Amino acid sequence: MVEAQVAPAQTLPQLAQQLRVDSIRCTTAAGSGHPTSSMSAADLIAVLLAKYLRYDFDKPELPNNDRLVFSKGHASPLLYAFYKAAGAISDEELLSLRKFGSRLEGHPVPVILPWVDVATGSLGQGLPIGVGMALNGKFLDKLPYRVWVLHGDSEMAEGSVWEALGTAAYYKLDNLTCILDMNRLGQRGETALGWNSRVYAERARAFGWHAIEINGHDYGEIDAAYQEAVSRTGQPTFIVAKTEKGHGVSLVADKNGWHGKALSANEAAEAIKELGGVSSLVVKAQKPQDQKPATAPSSGPYQCPRYEAAYSTREAFGDALKALGAARAEVVALDGEVGNSTYSEKFGHAYPERFFEMFIAEQQMIGAAVGLASRRKVVFASTFAAFLTRAYDFIRMAAVSRASIRLCGSHAGVSIGQDGPSQMALEDLSMMRAVFGSTVLYPSDAVSAAHLVSTMADLKGISYMRTTREKTPIIYKNEDSFPVGGSKVLRESSADKATLVAAGITLHEALKAYDQLKSAGINVRVIDAYCVKPIDIATLARAARETGTLIVIEDHWPEGGLGDAVLEAFTRDVGTLPRVIKLAVRSMPGSGTPQELLDAAGISAKHIVETAKQAL
Amino acid sequence: MVEAQVAPAQTLPQLAQQLRVDSIRCTTAAGSGHPTSSMSAADLIAVLLAKYLRYDFDKPELPNNDRLVFSKGHASPLLYAFYKAAGAISDEELLSLRKFGSRLEGHPVPVILPWVDVATGSLGQGLPIGVGMALNGKFLDKLPYRVWVLHGDSEMAEGSVWEALGTAAYYKLDNLTCILDMNRLGQRGETALGWNSRVYAERARAFGWHAIEINGHDYGEIDAAYQEAVSRTGQPTFIVAKTEKGHGVSLVADKNGWHGKALSANEAAEAIKELGGVSSLVVKAQKPQDQKPATAPSSGPYQCPRYEAAYSTREAFGDALKALGAARAEVVALDGEVGNSTYSEKFGHAYPERFFEMFIAEQQMIGAAVGLASRRKVVFASTFAAFLTRAYDFIRMAAVSRASIRLCGSHAGVSIGQDGPSQMALEDLSMMRAVFGSTVLYPSDAVSAAHLVSTMADLKGISYMRTTREKTPIIYKNEDSFPVGGSKVLRESSADKATLVAAGITLHEALKAYDQLKSAGINVRVIDAYCVKPIDIATLARAARETGTLIVIEDHWPEGGLGDAVLEAFTRDVGTLPRVIKLAVRSMPGSGTPQELLDAAGISAKHIVETAKQAL
């Protein structure tokens, strides 16, 4: 085994061929995977490892390690071959690729593998995430680490990439380098731009980047480009590297029909011979300077905002976020150019150095949140709840990344009123419930909202708070507590004939309905299901046992929201299903006052009263 | 009332001021809305109406009418003022803006208003949709209509816009013009690029468009730019119009803090005075030539593909799509560069003129589908089910658009195997169920898949088919039928002690479990819930009544999928409430063989058998 601290020029070809050979070996052993997409970028990664990457593989937790993101996550064989070449994994582990229980999954995932920061495999996500990492290095931790993103050419069609290009230039992220592995061939043929490197470079330049066109198999050109990237100030660098898919092996080089296919054992043997045989060169990456981040986590006392009079939950979110910012230096906020609606601007005005405007680019916003989270920041990202649908793929992938990020969606439901259905989130609870390991919160008053924001700061995984446009009355005492997985029984008697389960805006309708039913001599229980996921099974089960019928009222489509969350509770060992009646939005809303639209949707107090009377 | 067939030059200023005055009047009457974002574009729309738009307002159904899409849907006051100026609506109706029951919603919606093609209001969607309309005009209907998209500058941050710019240039859509209303101010301050029109123009040029920079308040420059746009061949045209938000009224012109705010009655009176007072000029747009589309809908016999041996549902989708293409000329297919995985390439190879490669740009793909649907095409769009999450906002808005589009998501669930969680759709059923008016299909064999594809062709609204990567055994006879809202009871006896409800891949596990349970002397019913939405309530209710316990097995997170769909059935008046046990994916999967991953997720036959035994 040869070991080189910094590889001399003659080591590079050997290193690159080893990366190719290992990409073939592990995919052939797996019987699937992406050898050719790995081989195109082998020279680019070899030069990076040998001369530019500053990374301590023994201490992946070092804050000043460079970050390397494989946006083209399907080139994971190359990534794993690179880990072997860096001395981080054994040849034996390399050959476990894609096998059940192996750390080397089909696409890279973090935590399982300590050198991976974020999961990739859904294309077009590496650069928006890299922007988050670079924002952290430049503006928060103030560390000289660099962010390197290996990018595919097919994924340049994804809009999220251009959101990232615009954002990176806006923030002058000169610590960010995008290496475009322009191998011409996508999954089913040529990409839209083929080998037209000039067009890629012109687009990158128009977006404010320093762009360089090179031959991605020429070590001198690669070296010069990386040198330019690390020397450049005031601008991120975009390297368009012309490469061949499957480079180095005549059977597959620049051939269509070889995307995502492993070579057979015989083909692999031939290919490995052509590449110079199996080797186990280890090239130690340079170590970074051991610098401490400028922002150390801190935990001062959280001064929870207090409320007495009607107040919107969205504004309480803003107040609480600001209070959290005062207590903890690692809290960071992002917004999609609606900070004066979500009220994240309260944080932004107080802590402008920790607030990043993402403009109307929700995918970039979530990508940046994931990147910042990977750098140990407690990130909140907010926009209209409806527009988080724009970033669903990023949210889904954030869960695969095991990232902890906190989302707030304002202006949810028909109760926003006049703006109409394009602005009404009516699927957000469903969308967020179906995210692995998520927490879904829907407070009905400012007190509970403010408490839950501080709770979110310490939650693992993806947490989501739905807030309401309108002011709502204060229900709770400022001293109350709102644990995750809990609920509040607001009205209860031994004579309860049914239970109203609601959250957010509809809770207030339920309370009005309670009064009307009470006047009519009908007792009902009222539960505030402020935590939609995980839902309070015990309290719901007791209500079912004691009152028989549950009426769930939600400002949401009938599918996947609070009603389904309540039903879900009865699929565990809580006996048979109770009778559940769901009041939800079942026709397409238009414009109108909030009350008109709640009435039209059949989720206002009036309808709750009618439903309860009919049911009893 | 003055009427002008084609307005002479002196009419333009009056027309533009009227559009401004009416934008103020209707928003002040509503007490909310976006007058200033309307006023910036008034001159641009005045010239369009007076000199360029070819549109018969009495016959909005004419195939050769120009299309006008307000991508900045919040400028609806201007759109409605334009309708009044075109003689399409009365002044009285204009003043009904945003009121409950008015056709003039906060953001424009089609059907309700016959001149609106598609709903806007979620920014960055107008151009991808316009691409679909332009593809239709150029390649399918072969009509000379033009597509005009009025675009905001804040929304240029949305990646979907750049997907559209790339796609429009790739297809050389010279019938498409984007008019950028660069008014500098977003919702909460200046946009990322402010009035930097050169950067917008350079970006558009780099993306292959003809770009023109103009003063958006100079009629001569606007006129010249439109003339250039309609004369240009081989390239779409991007007009960067420098404008002032609130132009014409000193109180609000180019002032921050006036986004989305109506003027008070007094402010409005002053403003209207400054603009020259109220008027009711009517300017008739030119009528288009009455040409017929090259592609008339046709309905030949559908030759449903037939299957005997194990076959994947994704490949059956491709076969059926091709068969549908043979039967009906209006069937069009789009794919996100994975046509050789979804098998939409079978259609593409047979009907290349009706297949549009969208590359890896899922938002553009759904946008184009909506645009094509608005031009009466029967559109299917396909990609990996996981990546449809990328376009959730577009799918949501397609429902607001009352569009009929057909989506197919392949490679769903852990059963895809080695590629790992980034490629596994585990939230798609939830996502698609929570789309207003959607139909969600999940066939388990090629026969049912092929039948359901032809059914989708005639469905209204958003329909979705989930397909499976692996080959699955054939269960059905080729002559069977699969109505929407139906299910199939595959195993049934009077001794059934429980019911297994499954669909797609898990149905085959359920059938294996049935055999094992039967051997152990336990009879269970097996239901194929191939239609997840609307679900077959009657059959589930009967099963609940007759067998007591339902075990639902799904290759999906526990939230929002088949299990929740089954539970939803029991929120109506269906009598006996069952005990429901959900087997679903409850931990983050990794890589492995399909069978290993089904086992690890606890949704394979083995687990079904164990669960059934424990339950009984």
Chain position carrying tokens 């005997």: B308
Whether the per-residue pLDDT at B103 is higher than 90: the answer is: yes
- A-B interface: how many C-beta pairs under 8 angstroms? 338
Whether B159 and A161 lie within 8 Å, measured CB to CB: yes
Identify which of B436, B578, B596 has the shortest CB distance to residue A588.
B436
Find chain A residues with C-beta within 8 A of B186's C-beta.
Answer: 337, 359-360
Nearest to B488 by CA among B518, B525, B439, B533: B525
Chain position carrying tokens 């001159």: B43
Q: How confident is the model at residue B92 (pLDDT cuts 50, 70, 90)?
A: very high
pLDDT of residue A347: 98
Residue A29: which H helix or E strand, with range?
A: helix A11-30
What is the least distance, in Å, from the CA of B233 to any CA of chain A?
A: 20
Find chain B residues with C-beta within 8 A of A435's C-beta.
Answer: 427
What is the least distance, in Å, from the CA of A564 to any CA of chain B?
A: 6
Share of chain B above pLDDT 70, in %: 99
Find the mean pLDDT for residues A452-462: 98
Chain position carrying tokens 């692996």: B470
Answer positive or negative: Cα dihedral of A501, A505, A511, A517: negative
For chain B, the residue count is: 616
- Judge whether A443 and A449 are in contact, CB under 8 Å: yes
Find chain A residues with C-beta within 8 A of B557's C-beta.
Answer: 434, 436
Find the mean pLDDT for residues B483-502: 98
Identify which of B160, B397, B426 has the shortest CB distance to residue A422.
B397
Find chain B residues with C-beta within 8 A of A591's C-beta.
Answer: 98-100, 102, 104-106
Interface of B with A in 506-545 (CB under 8 A): 533
Cα separation, A534 vs A185, whole angstroms: 45
Q: How confident is the model at residue B1 (pLDDT cuts 50, 70, 90)?
A: very low
By CA distance, what is A164's nearest residue in B?
A: B159
Cα separation, A156 vs A159, whole angstroms: 8
pLDDT digits (tens, 9 = 90+) for B127-176: 999 999 999 999 999 999 999 999 999 999 999 999 999 999 999 999 99
What is the least distance, in Å, from the CA of A408 to any CA of chain B?
A: 17
Find the mean pLDDT for residues B558-566: 97
Whether B106 and A591 lie within 8 Å, measured CB to CB: yes
What is the least distance, in Å, from the CA of B207 to any CA of chain A?
A: 7
Q: Chain B interface, mutation test: which of A338, A419, A438, A550, most B Cβ atoms within 10 Å?
A: A419
Q: What average pLDDT does the structure give for chain B? A: 96
Inform me whether the C-beta atom of residue B199 falls under 8 Å from chain A C-beta atoms.
Answer: yes
pLDDT digits (tens, 9 = 90+) for A294-344: 977 777 889 999 999 999 999 999 999 999 999 999 999 999 999 999 999
pLDDT digits (tens, 9 = 90+) for A538-563: 999 999 999 999 999 999 999 999 99
What is the least distance, in Å, from the CA of B539 to any CA of chain A?
A: 18
Share of chain A above pLDDT 70, in %: 98
Q: Is A435 helix (H, G, I), strand (E, B) or coil?
A: coil
Whether the per-residue pLDDT at A7 is higher than 60: the answer is: no
Paired sense of beta strands B355-357 and B331-335, if any = parallel
Whether A102 and B591 lie within 8 Å, measured CB to CB: yes
Find chain A residues with C-beta within 8 A of B100's C-beta.
Answer: 590-593, 596-597, 600
Whether the per-residue pLDDT at A3 is higher than 80: the answer is: no
Identify which of A109, A206, A359 has the shortest CB distance to residue B203.
A206
pLDDT digits (tens, 9 = 90+) for A49-97: 999 999 999 999 999 999 999 999 999 999 999 999 999 999 999 999 9
Q: How confident is the model at residue B575 (pLDDT cuts 50, 70, 90)?
A: confident
Identify which of A361, A390, A434 has the shortest CB distance to residue B559.
A434
pLDDT of residue A300: 82
Inform me whether the C-beta atom of residue A559 falls under 8 Å from chain B C-beta atoms.
Answer: yes
Whether A600 and B387 lie within 8 Å, measured CB to CB: no
Whether B434 and A73 lie within 8 Å, measured CB to CB: no
pLDDT of residue A576: 81
Q: How confident is the model at residue B2 (pLDDT cuts 50, 70, 90)?
A: very low
Cβ atoms within 10 Å, residue B438: 23
Backbone angles phi, psi at A212, to 5 degrees: -135, 135
Whether B418 and A160 lie within 8 Å, measured CB to CB: no
Contacts of B307 (CB under 8 A, 6+ apart): B316, B445, B446, B447, B450, B474, B478
DSSP for A460-505, please give it.
-SEEEEE--SSEE---S-TT----TT--EEEE--TT--EEEEE-TH
Buried b (16+ CB within 10 A) or exposed e, A121-139: bbbbbbbbbbbbbbbbbbb
pLDDT digits (tens, 9 = 90+) for A587-598: 999 999 999 999
- Judge whether A284 and A4 are in contact, CB under 8 Å: yes
Would the pTM count as exceeding 0.80?
yes
Q: Is B462 helix (H, G, I), strand (E, B) or coil?
A: strand
Answer positive or negative: Cα dihedral of B95, B98, B103, B104: positive
Cβ atoms within 10 Å, residue B231: 9
* Interface predicted TM-score (ipTM) of this complex, two decimals: 0.97
pLDDT of residue A295: 77
pLDDT of residue B298: 79
Q: Determine which of B8-22, B53-67, B553-567 has the lowest per-residue pLDDT on average.
A: B8-22
Whether the per-residue pLDDT at A208 is higher than 80: the answer is: yes
Interface of B with A in 4-23 (CB under 8 A): none
Inform me whether the C-beta atom of residue A614 falls under 8 Å from chain B C-beta atoms.
Answer: no
Structure tokens given for A302 = 């959280």
Whether the per-residue pLDDT at A354 is higher than 50: the answer is: yes
Find the mean pLDDT for residues B202-210: 98
Q: How confident is the model at residue B4 (pLDDT cuts 50, 70, 90)?
A: very low
- Judge whether A432 and A470 are in contact, CB under 8 Å: no
Share of chain A above pLDDT 90, in %: 96
Q: What average pLDDT does the structure give for chain A? A: 96
Residues of B assigned a catalytic role:
362
Inform me whether the C-beta atom of residue B186 falls under 8 Å from chain A C-beta atoms.
Answer: yes
By CA distance, what is A570's nearest residue in B?
A: B580
Q: How confident is the model at residue A191 (pLDDT cuts 50, 70, 90)?
A: very high
Interface of A with B in 144-173 (CB under 8 A): 154-155, 157-163, 166, 170
pLDDT of residue B581: 96
Paired sense of beta strands A579-583 and A531-533, if any = unpaired
Whether A170 and B192 lie within 8 Å, measured CB to CB: yes
pLDDT of residue B299: 73
Q: What is the largest CA-CA distance in chain A?
A: 90
Identify which of B187, B386, B590 has the shortest CB distance to residue A338.
B187
DSSP for B219-264, please give it.
HHHHHHHHHHHHH--SS-EEEEEE--TTTT-TTTTT-TT-TT-PPP
Inform me whether the C-beta atom of residue B282 falls under 8 Å from chain A C-beta atoms.
Answer: no
pLDDT of residue B295: 77
Find chain B residues with C-beta within 8 A of A397's C-beta.
Answer: 422
Whether B105 and A420 lie within 8 Å, measured CB to CB: yes
pLDDT of residue A554: 98
